[in-house]
Amino acid sequence: MPLLVVGSVALDSVETPTDSRDNVLGGSAVFFSYAASYFTPVRLVGVVGDDWPSEHTELLQRRKIDTAGLQIVPGKETFRWRGKYMPNMNDRETLEVHLNVFGEFDPVLPEEHKRAEFVFLANGSPVVQMKVLDQVPGARLAVADTMDLWIREQHGELMQLLKRIDGLVLNDSEAKLLTGDENLVRAGHRVREMGPKFVVIKKGEHGALLFGPHRFFSCGAYPLRQVFDPTGAGDSFIGALAGYLCSLGREGGHEFDDLAGAMVRGSILAGYTCESFSTHRLEKLNRDEFDTRLEEYRAFTRFA
């Protein structure tokens, strides 16, 4: 069953303490789609300029990602981001952001995409996210990502969105900002009380927290000996999570244990993303490698 994702498609330039890359494939919708595609077919909706390399589209299509919704706007440039990571590989500085054509993104879904039952709204304006929801009235599972910019500048619209979605994804500082509570456990429950059935709080190298109506789950990040580039790891995490849920189907809705299992798979895909720049490690990932890490993760978390 196809999973619809709407979000940014970008060209990233990344500097780490040991290496750098310019104009590599990036964007939240790209990392999400790549990770989700390991579990289910994906339909990507985004916008790029005429500077967009055609080989990037071909790469996505080789992963069976439907790019019919990827709009190329003549005379415009693709969203570009440049960032630099600090030695701890957790903190980063944004050096340049050029929204370009993405700053005018007003997604209109192809007719076939409007029948989507599983929808992920990648980080973006809640106004735009709600416009997408208006176009998929039959969605059974709708999950959204957000950030501090929208919490500050479109708070009212974000609160409207929260009442229309099943799940919200945000990081720890954003959860604290949204609720005004420095305690993440209380903050997670408070965000869920704003509307979503479940809330996922990402904590970077420390994993993620899941909040449901009556249950809580903590998922550690997969332990890596070396991190090359964490760009897109959070998007890969939620992509794998959503892709796995989509693969389960569940006509009557997903159980909490489904969500917990999806988070573990998200942690594993996020770890692989950190092992290279862009999607390079994900491009080489095979099922045996993934299954091996899944079993290792089970062993890490087993106790008497």
Residue 293 in contact with residue 222, Cβ under 8 Å?
yes
Task: Give me the percent of the chain exceeding a pLDDT of 90.
Answer: 92
Position 253 confidence tier, pLDDT thresholds 50, 70, 90: confident
Domain range list for the chain: 3-300
- pLDDT tens profile 25-46: 999 999 999 999 999 999 999 9
pTM score: 0.94
Query: Mean pLDDT throughout 112-119?
Result: 96
Q: Specify the length of the chain in residues.
A: 304
Q: Tell me, what's the pLDDT at 303?
A: 84
Q: What is the mean pLDDT of residues 56-63?
A: 96
Q: 132: pLDDT confidence band, cut at 50, 70 and 90?
A: very high
Give the pLDDT band (50/70/90) at residue 1. confident
**pLDDT tens per residue across span 179-219:** 999 999 999 999 999 999 999 999 988 999 999 988 999 99
The pLDDT score that the predictor gives to residue 252 is: 63
The whole-angstrom separation of Cα 203 and Cα 221 is 9
Q: Which residue has the tokens 């439907």?
A: 66
Is the pLDDT assigned to residue 263 strictly greater than 90? Answer: yes
Cα separation, 8 vs 31, whole angstroms: 10
60-114, pLDDT tens digit by residue? 999 989 999 999 999 999 999 999 999 999 889 999 999 999 999 999 999 999 9
Tell me: the pLDDT tens digits for 155-168? 999 999 999 999 99
97 φ, ψ (degrees, to nearest 5):
-135, 125
pLDDT confidence tier of residue 275, bands split at 50, 70 and 90 = very high
Q: Which fold has domain 3-300?
A: UDP-N-acetylmuramoyl-L-alanine:D-glutamate ligase (3.40.1190)
- Which pLDDT does position 71 carry in this prediction? 96
The band of 176, judged by pLDDT with boundaries at 50, 70 and 90, is very high
pLDDT at 117: 94
**pLDDT of 231-249, one tens digit each?**
999 999 999 999 999 999 8
The residue that leads in pLDDT, 253 or 144, is 144
Is-contact 92 83, C-beta < 8 A? yes
Task: Read off the pLDDT of residues 279-302 as tens digits, 9 standing for 90 and up.
Answer: 999 999 999 999 999 999 999 988
Burial string for 194-206 (b: 16+ CB within 10 Å, else e) reads ebbbbbbbbbbbe
User: What is the rounded distance in angstroms from the CA atom of residue 150 to the CA atom of residue 144?
Assistant: 12
